[in-house]
Structure 1
Amino acid sequence: MSSFRRDKKEEEDGGASVFQNLDKTTLLQECRYFNSTPVNPRKCIHILTKIIFLLNQGEKLTTQEATDMFFATTKLFQSKDVVLRRLVYLCIKELSSMAQDVIIVTSSLTKDMTGKEDLYRAAAIRALCSITDSSMLQAIERYMKQAIVDKNPAVSSAALVSALHLSATVPDLVRRWVNDAQEAIMSDNIMVSYHALGVVAGARRNDRLSTVKLVTKLARSPLRSPYAMCLLVRLAAKLAEEDQTDSSEPYLEFIESCLRHKSEIVVYEAAHAIVNLRKSARDLAQAVSVLQIFCGSSKATLRLAGARTLAQLTAKHPNAVAACAVDLENLISDPNRSVATLAVTTLLATGAESSIDRLMKQISTFMSEISDEFKIVVVRAIRRLCSKYPRKHQSLASFLAGMLREEGGVEYKTAIADTIIALVEENPDAKETGLAHLCEFIEDCEHTSLAVRILHVLGREGPKARQPSRYIRYIYNRVILESGPVRAAAVSAVARFGATREELLPNIRVLLSRCQLDDDDEVRDRAIFYSAILDSNDKQLIDEYIINVPMHNPVLLEKALSDHILIQPDEPFDISTVPATEEQNENEDTPLQVEISNQPIASREEIYSEQLKIVPGIEKLGPIFKTCEAIDLTEPETEYRVRCVKHIFTRHLILQFECLNTLNDQFLEKVHIRLDVAPGYTILTEVACEKLPYDVQGSVFCVLQFPANPIETLGTIGATLEFVVRDCDSTTGLPDSGEGYADTYPLEEVEIGCADQFRTRAATDEWEASWERGATAPEACDTFGLSKTDVNEAAIAVCEHLGLPKSAIATCEHLGLTKAAGGDAVKEIRGGGLWREGTPMLVRARLVAAQGAVTMQLTVRSPREDIATLILAAVS
């Protein structure tokens, strides 16, 4: 162990880092030293450390370079130096994914794995499991089982962690080690017990009954390891979340009992689980009191955990958190600024309107000391305040404007801009103030994407202001000073002013004519395009191409254009069949989060488009019109789980049945769906699932043609799962010899409704004008008595049935109507949509609650009378 010693001369040298200016070419040359006989262990340790440092810095090695380094490193197996040998294992593990012929060191690693030196055994197990494939693992299976129950905790833990990693690639092999892992759960070593429970729970994750037995058994005899207890609490919380019946009470009782555990980490995990359960916990007060104690702890980690979880709880139970106001007030001056930030944001969410100014003043004192992630938490809290206390918009907007002027990344500035935009859209009194702050911000905005977004908002909201001309100067300045994308967005914003406000049209025409001389071709094209439309004075043309322009999904638009060019290039392309991009609205129940997700949100159509490529002739069906949300056709606890996803095309319907086999002793083959279709439907083809092993999802696709009459498309389609069953080994998953036997499994009926065949949207600002323009179109009208007694519930139910968002509901106050006698409420639903064949429609429904009943008058206008009649038929 002399390698751990450092000479005094080394400590005094200090100086520059030995890793500075590290080059992989030089390092490859240094690796040749490993071939020397004998080698200096200290020098080899230095070179191996450089290799690991280089790989962790993200340096990319070619296959040949990695192979050369790998085999040079294996020459050091002959060394007896402990530190050097452990570094050798680490380098082998890191290089194995990039090098070739790594399997050659298997015998050396197996020898070390079964040797007497415990320091070598654990590291050898980790390296061996990272380089061997499934066929080689069976040769060392006996050694792995012995290592899992080894008396040395380091060896046992290494084997269990390796099993966890292997479960992602060879789950069937790892399931054979479950019995040994169950024995290790009761180990006295806290890490071995934790890792063993992870292996067992992972092997049973798709077998609910086995998971229930495991949790029930371990809940009666609590584990010694606090980490294992935390994992057990998570498993119990998951079971309670999935089971909404009274049978979940034992899980809740176990979680609540963990609030009295001697380990702080277990207590916090239990409180966190209770807070995050969707259904109301029986005793939320106990969890809150625990978190309240954490807020007063001397440990910064516990204070952070308590404040953060209380901040999450404010979304569902703000009244429960209000009792902790005193403790949270004490945390405002906490030296840990992350804790102080969470305390203030929680108080902002639960406090009274009178305390807002004081809290905002306190948080402004340390805003410059916290990271962007926690600043975003503050911004999100302010966004909720804007909705909760609209009268405080002046001070809140000023605070946000001050934050905009500070330094920060694009995510931070985007969060502030989004909050101001939401304030402008939701609060009419704050529109002028919010737009003024946005105008000031784009003068110095260095983020192109954010400037484009704000210009779009100014173009949409600016014409509605009292003095719209004041915003044109800020927008046109962007045409003079900014980059091409920003200039193009500014041209679009200016055009909207001319389309909406006729008194500004002459000046807008002059500005657009100047933009036609721009250096950027997109700016010139937009200016010419908008000028031509404005000069036409065609109201419908201006509405469709300037005011209410749908934003189509770019990924699906590109795919639809490619398919169109390949199949029917001579036919005109109908862009209305491509799904539009829907804006993601922030969920009001979303708890305060610190982490920022930068992953793009893909639509359902994008997610399933790759899976649909398996269907022969899919490109001939045209672009996909809509993909509906998956519906369950079986109960969650059944042996075969089937979900159906409806893919709507112009004249065709594809039913995708997602099947999952939850029986580990059965192997399914030739899985297909027998359909009992409604009259008028035609089954064109079916793509069966040839093999369905345990715990691997497979899909069956059925292609149908819609009836020519839209009314006949409404109905249900019966479905039966048919397959061939072969018994298999529950541990290996390999089917037994023999042909198996045919079997069937009944499924729920698949309902094809009106909402499936429309892409609907709530009413826009120009909806009234669109409704009036459609006065000459065919109209269908009828009156219905609804089963609901509450007008709000009835309006929501109608929106869900028609596929309209809840934002389509307008109250009588917004419509300028008076309530009927006796205080009876009136609501109106306004919306529109597009039929799968490209036919538009507008719908207006007026709901009145009188004498304990709700009556609805529904009117639909569409160029096709049968489409308007279809909606009435769907409601009736």
Structure 2
Amino acid sequence: MSLLTKKDEESGLSTYYNNKTTVIQEARVFNDSPISPRKCRALLTRIVYLLYVGETFNTQEATTLFFGTTKLFQHKDSALRQMVYLAIKELATTAEDVIMVTSSIMKDMQPNSEVIYRPNAIRALCRIIDPSMAQGVERFFKAAIVDKNPSISSAALVSAYHLFPAAKDVVKRWVNEAQEAVNAKSSSSFFGSSNSGGYLGWGGSSSNSNSGYQMMPSTSYITQYHALGLLYFIRQQDRMAVTKMIQQLGGGKSGMGTTLKNPMALCMLIRYAAKVMEEDPNMHRPMLELLEGWLRHKSDMVNLEAARAICEMKNVTAAQLSKPIAVLQLFLSSPKSTLKFAATRTLAALAVTHPASVATCNVDLESLISDQNRSVATYAITTLLKTGNEASVDRLMKQITTFMSEISDEFKVIIVDAIRSLCLKFPAKHAAMLSFFSGVLRDEGGYDFKRAVVEAIFDMIKFIGDCKEQALSHLCEFIEDCEFTKLSVRILHLLGAEGPQAPNPTKYIRFIYNRVVLENATVRAAAVSSLAKFGLEKLDTKLSRSINVLLNRCLDDVDDEVRDRAAMYLKVYTEPKLIQPYIKEDSIFSLSALEAKLVSYISDPEALEKPFEVASIPKISRAQAAKEVARPSSLETIGMPSTSKAPTPPPVSAAETQSAYAQQLTEVPEFASYGTVFSSSPKPQQLTESETEYQVSCVKHLFKEHVVFQFNISNTIPDTVLEQVSVVMQPQADSGLTEDFIIPLPSLTAANSPGIVYFSFTRDNPEEFQMASFQCVLKFVSKELDPETGEPEEEGYEDEYQLEETELAAGDYIVPTYVTFASEWDRLRGGASATETFGLSSMESLKAACTSIIEILNMQPLGGTEEPQSSSVHILQLSGLVAGGGGKVLVRCRMTYSKAQGVTLELGVRAEKQEACSLVVAAIGG
């Protein structure tokens, strides 16, 4: 687009095309009598061009242009009719009352109308009609899908594909016609029509419908590609139907007997096969045989797609990779740059996980380093960096340096990432690589490229201690001329963390203070924080007093953030006891949990009368906080409400899970009086097997006086609807819980799965920690869906499904939180404590014992202690907050292992309240 714009500006076309006001004024040409096809085509071209480059028309302008354009239907010029359809198709999304032009479009859809008009009419009608009208035009679409002319058939299939989200039930009835289009044995059409819906060249102003066009036969079989996409769209919720379709169209193990002749259709079938193989382990072997068969297909496109699919499989073995790598190796010597590029890119990605398998192609890859296509050369040398040995590093680094200036930033980032991996693989070669990174930092480049280089140097500092001092010096030089604020802030933060421990920390202070003098407010604030940390290592020294002087100068800064930071650090200098909680503390409040608690606090008038309980908010490490800011919180897929149309990624931390569930519960009116949710289950408990027809999982939500069980229910049967869906729970005797109510699910189909059923209990004594097990039964009314109308039948049958038991356990009352264990353990020395010894004879290893204890208590493991470093002795440290004002609780598990006795556990507990101690001990002892 940038090149196009530049050319337009040079030729003066930009002024001509981009003047929206002129175009609207000239629309009067549509009302001329007689109509001038040449003028109208030129004006319509300008309208489409404006929409293409991002210009927008308001509703009134779009409506005026739309109905002005529709007046041109009376003219028979075929080229003009082509532009009319293009224009109304684009304007229809903004204009009003577009439904009025339906009759004119449907005239051109009739079987007896000109063949050249029908594909465009079908595409335009798809944009014009309301979803409720889809059933009225169903017969036209069905006839068009099976039309012998592939341009008409493809237009109908693509239109059906776009109609599907709004009119699922209607489009699903076209499955037989779509299957017939897939099985088409031959295809002939006007050249280019099946791909773009248009024709080469513009005709004259003659009224002859075929004027200006050259009809050329084509055997592209493009209809199969469009029909396969529609079939998958219709059947995507039915895994068995998709698997059957792939096997029928796959053509057996050889892949040669397939009815699909279009390479793009085969590529799409390969992607569907790879998806089925990933989702269903039972289909791994049959799908792999199909993929290996397509490696021998006569189309290069199909060969590459099959090879890529096998290379991207999870847990792929070296034996399974031999065939696809052999195919890719053949393409490395191809005269076509596209094939070489695709092969090298696939091998570069595979080299990350299977370098030994890719190493067989190293000879061919080395010959591509000097390839004229620098993109191919980039991927070739990137792959060699991942598969080469230590002896080849210096030679490869020299070759990289020669063409770094010839490639785009995108490929520079790829090379930098490869060298970063090489640094960790061969740390002895860090000098050459660090020299390369410092050199490219001085070169021209965008933010993404410079960030990749800085991140690579950060990793070298973290993992290769010998290069730390030199790397910090290079970063200091870089921020002198760095034009990116984000990078400057990150480097200053690193200097503040690593610089004070360096042998000669004073040499970094000049670079940092220069930022206070020369940079913008954001960088100045970061520089103040970094500068202050140099003096906090050793107070009352010459360096500390010098830093104090520099910070006092910052009190006169024009920005309040800079002044506030300087004042805070000066206060810390005078009161050293503030260093640990304000500077060196590694924990921080979870921002998502803090936000959820604050929103709940200010929305409850009664809560505002009491102080905000900050102690009830879980903490996370600063590393987790960085991830939390990078990704928004969300619920796991199976926990989404039934009204949600698409799943979102799972949360990145337990604190995010809590706040996301809290947000979901606030949208349920029945829970409005329950107050703030104290805790939710860290992950859903599966109550059914993964292969069953109905899949149910359970999440427990704990309130001050209530417990709510959330059942996430999925219906995997596509032609069945479940109505009056509920879960009946039977608690054990003396559970301390009283049943409140059930919020059932009115209906549940495979399309809107999962749905949610809520079951609420009242806690008889909120001061106690009730623990109980529950028998659960899924009850529903099952009804078949009418294949014609898509509506459920009037009569169904009641059914029930026995679920696994669920329980309310100690872990449901505890929320994980991050603390500095040593200091917090000492702080709780005078509080409630308990020590018990347990014999865990069923545990086969210390790691299994750690996993079980963490799962039972639902507490935060600290400092990597969940991974035992020894096979016989280990200490596990845990931290958590007890819901309902139970306060903080810490656990220290000293464990020993022997084959004769299993795991012996000494459980030490310290807490702010005795009830929390008793809860933890009872959980392990029970």
Deviation at 1:96, TM superposition (A): 0.9
For the residue of structure 2 that corresponds to 1:146, the secondary structure is helix
Which amino acid is the alignment partner of residue 780 of structure 2? F
**Contact 2:817-2:881 within 8 A present in 1 as well:** no
Deviation readout 1:292-314 (Å, 9 max, x if unpaired): 11222211111111111112212
Name the counterpart of 1:219: 250
Deviation readout 1:511-537 (Å, 9 max, x if unpaired): 443333322222223333343344333
Unaligned runs of 5+ in 2: 1-6, 188-220, 252-256, 631-648
**Contact 1:563-1:619 within 8 A present in 2 as well:** no
Unaligned runs of 5+ in 1: 1-10, 587-598, 814-818
For the residue of structure 2 that corresponds to 1:413, the secondary structure is helix
Which amino acid is the alignment partner of residue 519 of structure 1? V
- Taking the aligned partners of 2:507 and 2:421, their CA distance within structure 1 comes to 29
Deviation at 1:327, TM superposition (A): 1.5
Pair 1:514-2:568 in alignment: no
Which amino acid is the alignment partner of residue 357 of structure 2? A
For the residue of structure 1 that corresponds to 2:13, the secondary structure is coil
Give the percent of matched residue pairs that are identical in Structure 1 and Structure 2.
44
Deviation at 1:180, TM superposition (A): 0.8
- Taking the aligned partners of 1:683 and 1:711, their CA distance within structure 2 comes to 17
Q: How does 1:310-709 map to 2 (within 5 A)?
A: 310-502=347-539, 503=541, 505-538=544-577, 541-548=578-585, 550-552=587-589, 554=591, 557-567=594-604, 568-575=607-614, 577=617, 580=620, 582-584=625-627, 604=657, 611-616=664-669, 617-618=671-672, 621-622=675-676, 628-645=682-699, 654-677=708-731, 679-680=735-736, 686-697=742-753, 698-702=755-759
Which amino acid is the alignment partner of residue 173 of structure 2? R
Which amino acid is the alignment partner of residue 657 of structure 1? F
**Contact 1:181-1:200 within 8 A present in 2 as well:** yes
Name the counterpart of 2:26: 30
Aligned partner of 1:165 among 162, 167, 172: 162
**Contact 1:496-1:547 within 8 A present in 2 as well:** no
Specify whether residues 605 and 804 from structure 1 end up closer, same or farther in structure 2 by C-alpha distance, changes over 3 A only: closer
**Contact 1:759-1:835 within 8 A present in 2 as well:** yes
Q: Which moved more, 1:697-706 or 1:60-69?
A: 697-706
Which amino acid is the alignment partner of residue 789 of structure 2? T
Which amino acid is the alignment partner of residue 311 of structure 1? A
Pair 1:725-2:782 in alignment: yes
For the residue of structure 2 that corresponds to 1:113, the secondary structure is coil
**Contact 2:535-2:544 within 8 A present in 1 as well:** yes
Which amino acid is the alignment partner of residue 563 of structure 1? S
For the residue of structure 1 that corresponds to 2:116, the secondary structure is helix
**Contact 2:680-2:699 within 8 A present in 1 as well:** no
**Contact 2:847-2:866 within 8 A present in 1 as well:** no
Name the counterpart of 1:41: 37
- Taking the aligned partners of 1:331 and 1:421, their CA distance within structure 2 comes to 31
Count of paired positions: 839
TM-score, normalization: structure 1? 0.86
Name the counterpart of 1:261: 297
Deviation readout 1:407-440 (Å, 9 max, x if unpaired): 2222222222222223323333333233333322
**Contact 2:680-2:702 within 8 A present in 1 as well:** yes
Pair 1:138-2:135 in alignment: yes
Pair 1:273-2:300 in alignment: no
Name the counterpart of 1:6: none
Name the counterpart of 1:594: none
Which amino acid is the alignment partner of residue 308 of structure 2? H
Q: Which moved more, 1:642-651 or 1:394-403?
A: 642-651
Deviation at 1:619, TM superposition (A): 8.6
**Contact 2:686-2:697 within 8 A present in 1 as well:** yes
Q: Which moved more, 1:362-371 or 1:488-497?
A: 488-497
- Taking the aligned partners of 2:106 and 2:548, their CA distance within structure 1 comes to 80
- Taking the aligned partners of 1:758 and 1:300, their CA distance within structure 2 comes to 59
Specify whether residues 91 and 753 from structure 1 end up closer, same or farther in structure 2 by C-alpha distance, changes over 3 A only: farther
Which amino acid is the alignment partner of residue 388 of structure 1? K
Deviation readout 1:201-233 (Å, 9 max, x if unpaired): 211111112122222222234122222222222
**Contact 1:780-1:861 within 8 A present in 2 as well:** yes
Q: How does 1:176-215 map to 2 (within 5 A)?
A: 176-187=173-184, 188-189=186-187, 190-215=221-246
TM-score, normalization: structure 2? 0.82
Deviation at 1:792, TM superposition (A): 6.0
Q: Which moved more, 1:856-865 or 1:471-480?
A: 856-865
Aligned partner of 2:48 among 37, 46, 52: 52
- Taking the aligned partners of 1:827 and 1:426, their CA distance within structure 2 comes to 26
Q: How does 1:858-869 map to 2 (within 5 A)?
A: 859-868=908-917
- Taking the aligned partners of 1:336 and 1:761, their CA distance within structure 2 comes to 53
Name the counterpart of 1:63: 59
Pair 1:121-2:121 in alignment: no
Specify whether residues 742 and 119 from structure 1 end up closer, same or farther in structure 2 by C-alpha distance, changes over 3 A only: same
Deviation at 1:870, TM superposition (A): 4.5
**Contact 1:499-1:547 within 8 A present in 2 as well:** no
Aligned partner of 1:104 among 95, 100, 103: 100
- Taking the aligned partners of 1:465 and 1:784, their CA distance within structure 2 comes to 48
Q: Which moved more, 1:857-866 or 1:329-338?
A: 857-866
For the residue of structure 2 that corresponds to 1:406, the secondary structure is coil
For the residue of structure 1 that corresponds to 2:134, the secondary structure is helix
- Taking the aligned partners of 2:854 and 2:370, their CA distance within structure 1 comes to 48
Deviation at 1:554, TM superposition (A): 4.6
- Taking the aligned partners of 2:764 and 2:864, their CA distance within structure 1 comes to 30
Specify whether residues 275 and 479 from structure 1 end up closer, same or farther in structure 2 by C-alpha distance, changes over 3 A only: same
- Taking the aligned partners of 1:811 and 1:137, their CA distance within structure 2 comes to 59
Name the counterpart of 1:592: none
- Taking the aligned partners of 1:742 and 1:810, their CA distance within structure 2 comes to 47
Deviation at 1:618, TM superposition (A): 4.9
- Taking the aligned partners of 1:201 and 1:399, their CA distance within structure 2 comes to 49
Specify whether residues 88 and 573 from structure 1 end up closer, same or farther in structure 2 by C-alpha distance, changes over 3 A only: same
Deviation at 1:343, TM superposition (A): 1.7
Q: Which moved more, 1:100-109 or 1:771-780?
A: 771-780
- Taking the aligned partners of 1:648 and 1:368, their CA distance within structure 2 comes to 60
